[in-house]
Structure 1
């Protein structure tokens, strides 16, 4: 089975050509400082993947407002004071040969802190509905963050519209019960994301790459609304890359009305025009890479397997019989892959088999990643 297609250059509508079709998925790693400042640990972790051959490297979610922080040690992009670290990272990734992007994020009803905000009230999480004025304020914070990323030297940004955070909450017919222009219908629920895209396009340069990440189901998402949104994003060509988080690229839809087609097929069948379509979810072996690309994806994003295989693309290209490291890991192996101690401690809370053997921090509960992907818990 050939993976040669993975090493064809990828040319988005705008900005630099991406040297191959293998991207690093944005992953929470808890390595930044509590004030949002980028740490040397996080720079080293991301730069090691760029040196390892990942054509596109996207940061972990980066909160655009202090109130939107969703995890301890989360990267921030809400203030100009954070620019020095961001500039260091952008320079390091460029010198290592990767195209770079910052993932723009707000935790919404899943944010840390006592005062959570979202599209609608939610008693169970203590979330207060944003006023229309506050929605406009948050849109401006996202736009300011995109401008900040461009100033720092990144090639683009990715809007985090997946996994039940703020943008995803606006898209959800379950979570979003608003009756103003940002709710009430599929068009209204998509308005936050579409307005944000338009405003970033207006404020950033013509060569600045703009992507969006979406979930097709779970977290209150409706598959058919998500497909309709994807069709519009692709048809209007206002973004350059659409990243669909599938949890498993071979997965069948949970919605019984979707028939026997796989989730990936619902998106790869959309006439592509100039927008590049990426997929992620349980892409581990070289055969998985080849299969996802053969189904019509333009690129694939690697997540957990990239944590334990910093040089996955380089090794895949140079070794026909490449077998990625994919077994219970150790802190020593993680150190060899430029995973810092804070990220390593965070991974020790996973119940995923690869990380299950890591000694957990004292008193830290195991983090059930499968439950998280089902939309249960934080």
Structure 2
């Protein structure tokens, strides 16, 4: 019998992923200052398609220039981005993988010194001003129009980035005390994400793969609300998959200190929505553990940086585990990381030798 990790995963929209191993969206800082994709970023992603990942997801792409959040971030906010987007989608398709582009806005975590634009958020604070109602509505339309741009470029789907404290998380947060219908109550704080997801589904059609990334805690997100919202989104009929970014799948929830964070979500009703998890999945045993717990698929982050062919390596060795750190810069280059990505990884303590 084929190991679960290498069984196909049929999504609700009729698309099938070849296996349960997918590439997590990973900041790599390799593209151009104007948000145009670089050849290095395209090659890094293409190599993961060649390495056997059934779905390759891009790093976060900003849907409005003011949402730019890190050096070398690529965008999907204007016509100048289209050529690079189409090139990436075509290169990924040629590898046989499914492709997804992650849609994002930094909010109060954006970098005005990079974008040249003021910082905005759900509420005033942390160097940002509160968005007007009209600006929130424009943001919603920017997410939807960016999904259309990704679809026209040839991507198989998009993921809405509602995690890690970026702008959509700032709306979901219990710290969102706006007095209009975008804040205050749980229903109002979740409204923007729900309307973005439903808008993308309506505009892009039933066959376009649509995912959502959520953080289950931190950034003003409380566990009970995260469970409720995850359930509502999975059973709402618009999502093909939910991506839970757990930081460490085996850690205990911060609120309770007992059990495992992954297990707080595995028994939730999910309808026909696939549920994926990310967070310190470093070995074949970790993959099996997540799938045995009830996840439909896993998203590989650090393991994919260290091994472009993580899925093929796991298929060849049931005891596969990622390389120990530190590694050399030349080793990272051998895994299709460009110079900017190698330099970025060198800022992670203990990752790169020297």
Give the TM-score, by structure 1 length: 0.90
State whether residues 3 and 290 of structure 1, in contact with CA within 8 Å, keep that contact through their aligned partners in structure 2: no
Deviations 1:313-338 (A, max 9, x none): 01111233433323211110001000
User: Which residues of 2 match residues 297-336 of structure 1 at below 5 A?
Assistant: 297-336=295-334
Equivalent-residue separation in structure 2 for 1:37 and 1:290 (angstroms): 38
- Cα 1:344–1:356 change in 2 (3 A) is closer
Equivalent-residue separation in structure 2 for 1:314 and 1:237 (angstroms): 33
Tell me the equivalent position of 1:346: 344
Shift, 1:92, TM fit: 0.9
Tell me the equivalent position of 1:365: none
Equivalent-residue separation in structure 1 for 2:289 and 2:260 (angstroms): 13
State whether residues 328 and 352 of structure 2, in contact with CA within 8 Å, keep that contact through their aligned partners in structure 1: no
Tell me the equivalent position of 2:223: 223
User: Which residues of 2 match residues 158-177 of structure 1 at below 5 A?
Assistant: 158-174=159-175, 176-177=176-177
1:188 matched to 2:162? The reply is: no
Equivalent-residue separation in structure 2 for 1:42 and 1:269 (angstroms): 37
State whether residues 251 and 263 of structure 1, in contact with CA within 8 Å, keep that contact through their aligned partners in structure 2: yes
Deviations 1:276-302 (A, max 9, x none): 000011110111010010000000011
Tell me the equivalent position of 1:261: 259
Equivalent-residue separation in structure 1 for 2:158 and 2:234 (angstroms): 17
Tell me the equivalent position of 2:285: 287
Shift, 1:349, TM fit: 1.0
Paired residues, number: 350
Deviations 1:47-78 (A, max 9, x none): 10110001111100000011000001001100
Unmatched runs of 5 consecutive residues or more in structure 1: 360-378
Alignment equivalent of 2:122, drawn from 119, 124, 131: 119
Tell me the equivalent position of 1:57: 56
1:8 matched to 2:44? The reply is: no
Shift, 1:267, TM fit: 1.0
Equivalent-residue separation in structure 1 for 2:120 and 2:262 (angstroms): 32
Tell me the equivalent position of 1:363: none
State whether residues 3 and 286 of structure 1, in contact with CA within 8 Å, keep that contact through their aligned partners in structure 2: no
Equivalent-residue separation in structure 1 for 2:95 and 2:235 (angstroms): 33
Task: State the SS of the aligned residue for 1:201.
Answer: helix
- For the aligned residue pairs, the C-alpha RMSD in angstroms reads 1.3
Equivalent-residue separation in structure 2 for 1:25 and 1:321 (angstroms): 21
Equivalent-residue separation in structure 1 for 2:321 and 2:268 (angstroms): 33
Equivalent-residue separation in structure 2 for 1:161 and 1:356 (angstroms): 30
Tell me the equivalent position of 2:26: 27
Shift, 1:97, TM fit: 1.3
